[in-house]
């Protein structure tokens, strides 16, 4: 495998930073915003570390100018952010009133970004479903209602933004919505079979139903964009999938080697196979039987071929050990164990603040290649990549700002991506670092920081760039070929 130095990225490569509405905006009761399932979830004691919520977060709703200044300071070309559906349609549904103030907030923000020379990449759904839709019909569990409401919301947004936005992401990480929301219950709406955690939910069936609803809703929104907007607005649309790389726990054991592919299939191909191949992966059909929904002709016609680009969120890698017995009914991983160390006790990477995240940059290159081979070398936009730092929150500010660990992470991962482009023929065209600033890290609350900018939650959400804020631009400066 080649070294970082000789690899490059194409001249029109787009790079920047990513965030999500509920993680940064705050102002949850302002200007007519309705509650989302995350507002409700955060109110349940014990669900969020430190008892936090997105009530104030980074206060970005009132600080858009500061965020744009940060982006400019970093030299970013692009910014990926998400819209809060319940700011735009407070109750969420297709017959519910539209909140003009919410819509205007985002329109103004996009205008300001464009005026600053920053390309917006807009995610329609980053997990914060309007609470009313959960209450009214079960939210993502109700395919028919959800698809109709999402399609309506998407059309409204496409119409409002017109040609100002050229890069649309329908859903962020449907795997997380399905598995964390409906299998282990660690994310909103918190449903699970574990009755110690939730009075309702069925971990063996609901994640698969939810994943199916999201795919169809994605397909419906893409059809609307392509038929009603794409021609005049000239944009593109895709879904963002999360997935990490897999290495065998025992490199000599064929069962572990086989389980690595199965792990990626259960995480990524669950969604990507229907989109690129028109069917669910054989490994999932085999394990899940009739708990995996089947495709109607209409639904798969919407989904198959529905990506203009592949949105890739990627953070780390795991060692995979095949399980030997029959899969548990609530298994979502493919009857295997995810481990941080291999058979010989070697760690997959250094420890971070996030229990699930250990950096392994070569895994990024390998997964880019794996995806390209399986899906016919699609255009790939990396829509998230980044790391937390072990103990960062407890460091004195001066030390915290010198986030060399994060700088090294970005150097290695961006280098691995350039290698994939240069040496493996992977068509990667954009990269958004997670995240522009420290923010509400879901169930981990504010204790885990992912930002290249420090946010002082005690002092007026003051933003102070860390070392990594400046370093990413320098890396891309070196790697992007000059015309
Ligand atoms: C992504 N895991 O979530 C999300 O898109 C972001 O909103 C989030 O802040 C970021 O990654 C960092 O966590 C994930 O446990 C959260 O495997 C957890 C996992 C994966 C992705």
The pLDDT tens digits for 418-455 are 999 999 999 999 999 999 999 999 999 999 999 999 99
Substitution site in 384, 435, 439, 441 for ligand 1 pocket (most atoms within 8 Å of beta carbon): 384
382: phi then psi, degrees, rounded to nearest 5: -80, 115
- The finding on whether 355 has its CB within 6 A of some atom of ligand 1 is no
In this prediction, residue 4 has a pLDDT band, given cuts at 50, 70 and 90, of very low
Atom of ligand 1 nearest to the CA of 442: 9
pLDDT at site 6:
85
The token pair at 23 is 């993680």
- The finding on whether 444 has its CB within 6 A of some atom of ligand 1 is no
pLDDT-above-90 percentage for the chain? 98
Is residue 337 among the annotated active site residues? no
Does residue 323 have a pLDDT over 90? yes
Pairing relationship of beta strands 462-465 and 380-384 according to DSSP bridges: unpaired
Which of these is catalytic: 131, 132, 145, 173? 173
82 CA from centroid of ligand 1 (Å): 14
pLDDT at site 155:
99
Give the list of residues 6+ apart from residue 8 with CB closer than 8 angstroms, or none.
418, 421, 422, 479, 480, 481
- The finding on whether 441 has its CB within 6 A of some atom of ligand 1 is yes
Does residue 1 have a pLDDT over 90? no
The pLDDT tens digits for 176-213 are 999 999 999 999 999 999 999 999 999 999 999 999 99
* Peptide bond preceding 340 in cis form (omega within 30 of 0): no
**What is the distance between the alpha carbons of residues 316 and 360, in angstroms, rounded to a whole number?**
6
234 CA from centroid of ligand 1 (Å): 30
Q: Across all residues in the chain, what is the average pLDDT?
A: 98
Element of type H or E holding 105: helix 100-115
Identify whether the C-beta of residue 302 lies closer than 8 Å to the C-beta of residue 223: yes
In eight-state DSSP terms, residue 36 is B
User: Whose C-alpha lies nearest to ligand 1, atom 15?
Assistant: 356
In this prediction, residue 340 has a pLDDT band, given cuts at 50, 70 and 90, of very high
Give the list of residues 6+ apart from residue 473 with CB closer than 8 angstroms, or none.
74, 75, 76
The token pair at 283 is 């490994």
242 CA from centroid of ligand 1 (Å): 8
- The three-class DSSP label of residue 17 is strand
Pairing relationship of beta strands 310-313 and 167-172 according to DSSP bridges: unpaired
**What is the distance between the alpha carbons of residues 190 and 167, in angstroms, rounded to a whole number?**
31
Average pLDDT score over residue span 257-268: 98
Does residue 283 have a pLDDT over 70? yes
Does residue 249 have a pLDDT over 80? yes
Is residue 173 among the annotated active site residues? yes
pLDDT at site 219:
99
pLDDT at site 5:
59
- The finding on whether 127 has its CB within 6 A of some atom of ligand 1 is no
- The finding on whether 338 has its CB within 6 A of some atom of ligand 1 is no
- The finding on whether 434 has its CB within 6 A of some atom of ligand 1 is yes
**What is the distance between the alpha carbons of residues 155 and 182, in angstroms, rounded to a whole number?**
27
pLDDT at site 52:
97
- The three-class DSSP label of residue 44 is coil
Substitution site in 242, 406, 448 for ligand 1 pocket (most atoms within 8 Å of beta carbon): 242
The token pair at 449 is 């920081």
- The finding on whether 81 has its CB within 6 A of some atom of ligand 1 is no
pLDDT at site 483:
82
358 CA from centroid of ligand 1 (Å): 13
The pLDDT tens digits for 383-417 are 999 999 999 999 999 999 999 999 999 999 999 99
The token pair at 72 is 């400019």
233 CA from centroid of ligand 1 (Å): 31
Identify whether the C-beta of residue 368 lies closer than 8 Å to the C-beta of residue 424: yes
**What is the distance between the alpha carbons of residues 193 and 138, in angstroms, rounded to a whole number?**
16
The token pair at 431 is 């990269």
Average pLDDT score over residue span 87-103: 99
**What is the distance between the alpha carbons of residues 93 and 76, in angstroms, rounded to a whole number?**
35
Does residue 161 have a pLDDT over 90? yes
Catalogue the E-assigned strands of 154-309.
167-172, 236-242, 245-248
pLDDT at site 383:
99
Structural domains in the chain, CATH included, are 14-242+308-315+354-479 (3.20.20.80)
- Residues comprising the chain, all counted: 483
Residue with tokens 């950096």: 359
pLDDT at site 366:
99
Does residue 2 have a pLDDT over 70? no
The pLDDT tens digits for 9-53 are 999 999 999 999 999 999 999 999 999 999 999 999 999 999 999
In eight-state DSSP terms, residue 280 is -
């Amino acid at each position: 495998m080649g070294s970082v130095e000789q690899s490059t990225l194409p001249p029109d490569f787009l790079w920047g930073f990513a965030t999500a509405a509920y993680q940064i905006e705050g102002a949850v009761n302002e200007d007519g915003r309705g509650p989302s399932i995350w507002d409700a979830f955060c109110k349940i004691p014990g669900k969020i570390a430190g008892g936090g919520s997105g009530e104030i977060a980074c206060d970005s709703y009132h600080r858009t100018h500061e965020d744009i200044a940060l982006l400019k300071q970093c030299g970013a070309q692009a910014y990926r952010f998400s819209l809060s559906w319940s700011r735009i349609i407070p109750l969420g549904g297709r017959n519910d009133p539209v909140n003009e103030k919410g819509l205007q907030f985002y329109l103004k923000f996009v205008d300001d970004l464009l005026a600053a020379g920053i390309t917006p990449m807009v995610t329609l759904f980053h997990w914060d479903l309007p609470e009313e839709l959960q209450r009214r019909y079960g939210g993502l569990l109700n395919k028919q209602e959800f698809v109709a409401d999402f399609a309506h919301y998407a059309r409204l947004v496409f119409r409002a933004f017109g040609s100002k936005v050229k890069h649309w992401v329908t859903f962020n990480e449907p795997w997380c919505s399905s598995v964390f929301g409906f299998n282990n219950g660690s994310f909103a709406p918190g449903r699970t079979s574990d009755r110690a955690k939730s009075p309702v939910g069925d971990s063996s069936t609901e994640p698969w139903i939810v994943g199916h609803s999201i795919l169809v809703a994605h397909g419906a929104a893409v059809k609307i964009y392509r038929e009603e907007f794409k021609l005049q607005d000239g944009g593109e649309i895709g879904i963002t999938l999360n997935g990490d790389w897999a290495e065998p726990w025992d490199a000599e054991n064929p069962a572990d080697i086989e389980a690595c592919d199965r792990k990626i299939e259960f995480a990524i191909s669950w969604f990507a196979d229907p989109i690129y191949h028109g069917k669910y992966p054989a490994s999932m059909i085999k394990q899940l039987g009739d708990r995996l929904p089947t495709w109607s002709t209409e639904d798969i016609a919407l989904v198959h071929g529905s990506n203009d680009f592949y949105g890739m969120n990627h953070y780390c890698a795991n060692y995979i050990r095949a399980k030997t017995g029959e899969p548990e009914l609530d298994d979502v991983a493919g009857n295997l164990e995810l481990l941080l160390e291999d058979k010989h006790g070697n760690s997959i990477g250094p420890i971070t603040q996030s229990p699930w995240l250990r950096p392994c940059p070569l895994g990024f290159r390998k997964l880019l290649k794996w995806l390209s081979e399986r899906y016919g070398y699609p255009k790939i936009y990396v829509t998230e990549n980044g790391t937390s730092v072990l103990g960062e929150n407890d460091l004195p500010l001066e030390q915290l700002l010198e986030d060399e660990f994060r700088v090294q992470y970005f150097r290695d991962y961006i280098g691995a991506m350039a290698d994939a482009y240069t040496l493996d023929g992977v068509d990667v065209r954009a990269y958004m670092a997670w995240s522009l600033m420290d923010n509400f890290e879901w169930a981990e609350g504010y204790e885990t920081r992912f930002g290249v900018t420090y946010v002082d939650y005690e002092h007026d959400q003051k933003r102070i760039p860390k070392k990594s804020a400046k370093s990413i631009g320098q890396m891309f400066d070196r790697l992007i070929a000059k015309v």
